[in-house]
Amino acid sequence: MKNIYDYRLEDLKEYFKNINEKEFKATQVYEWLYKKRVKSFDEMTNIKKEVIERLKQDFSIEPLKILKKQIDTDVRKYLFELSDKNKIEAVLMKHDYGNSLCVSTQVGCNMSCAFCESGRLKKVRNLNSYEMVSQIIQVEEDLNIRISHLVLMGIGEPFDNYDNVMNFIDIINEPKGIDLGARHITVSTSGLVPKINEFANNPKQVNLAISLHAPNNEIRNKIMPINKAYPIEQLIESVKKYINKTNRRVTFEYIMLKNINDQEKHAVELSKLLKGINCYVNLIPYNETSHIEFKKSEKEQIMKFYDTLKKNNINVTIRKEFGKKVSAACGQLRSNYEEEK
C-alpha cells in the first residue's frame, strides 16, 4: 500500500480522475494533510464518506516514529524509525535567518567517504519520498515551528536516489502543500557527475552544493572514493556547465581535516581550482567521532585558510558549529544507537 505523502498534487488529481471523482478533491486532501496536519483520513470532514473509505483502502498515512532526540543550544537531532525498523536521522538547526532542517535521503550510504560516520554503515536502501516528507512534518509538529530552509545533507547521497529526491522536492515545493520555496532548498552531492548534468535541466531554482573537501585528486582519492570514478577535473567541468545553464551560484563544502587538507598551500590550490567560478566555499569545522581517526583543524588554521581564500578573491564562509552536546557528526546518533542495542 502506497503512503499518501509519496504523491505530488498532480498524481493525486490523476488518482481522483481514475476513480471517477472530481480533481478538486486532490487539493482538499492536500490541504488536510499539509495545512491542517490531520493524522487520519477520517478527520477530512469535507470529503464524502465513500471517498474516505476508498482513500483508506488505497493509501497509508502513517508518519515516521521519533525514536530518540538529542538537544543542544540551537540544535535538535532526531533519530527516526522507519516502518521496516531501519533508522535514519534529521537535524534541526536554528539560524538567525530561520529554522533549517537537514534530512536523510537513504538508509546508509555507499559513497564511503573516509571522514563520514554515515558511510560506515553501507546503504541498505533508498528512502521513499514520503519518508523524507515525514522528517519535516514530524520535526515541525514536535517543536511547533515552521521549517524555512531545507538541506539534503543527512545520511545518504541524494543523487544516488535521484527520482525519489526530485519527487520529494516537487511535493514540498507545492504551494498547496508545505510550500517551501525552491531557493530555500539545497541538494548536496559528493560528485555524481551524470546526475549534476541531469540536475542542470531541472526548472526549479533549487540550490546545488558540492562536497569537495580537497583541492586535488591525490587528497580527494584518499578521502572520497567517488573521485576515482569522477575526478576533480570532470567534477569542476560539470559544475561550470551547470552554472552556464542555470545561472545559479554553487556552494563548495570543505571539511577542515587537521594536517590533511587544511594547509595554506591547499588554500592556494583551491583558489586556483575555483578561480572565475560563480561559487562560494563553506569551510566546515570537522565533528570528530570515536570511530574515525581524523582530527578537527585548529581554529587558528581554519582562519588562515579562510584569509588565504579571501585574499585570492574567493567568496568564503565558516559554518557555525552546532551540537557540542549531541552526536553531531552525520550518522553518529544512528550508529551509536545501533551499537548500544
> 255 — phi, psi (to 5°)?
-75, 130
d(CA 123, CA 107): 6
Determine whether 330 is an active site residue.
Answer: yes
Which residue of the set 62, 81, 89, 233 is catalytic?
Answer: 89
Cell of 157: 547521497
Cell 514540498, residue?
172
Per DSSP (E only), the strands in the chain are 2-3, 59-60, 65-72, 75-81, 87-95, 98-102, 106-107, 125-126, 149-152, 185-189, 207-211, 250-256, 279-285, 316-318
What is the number of other CB atoms lying within 10 angstroms of the CB of residue 325?
A: 12
Which residue of the set 109, 116, 279, 330 is catalytic?
Answer: 330
Give the chain's radius of gyration (CA, Å): 21
Angle subtended at Cα 192 by Cα 336 and Cα 305, rounded to the nearest 5 degrees = 70
DSSP for residue 296: B
Cell 544507537, residue?
337
Determine whether 140 is an active site residue.
Answer: no
Residues that are catalytic: 89, 330
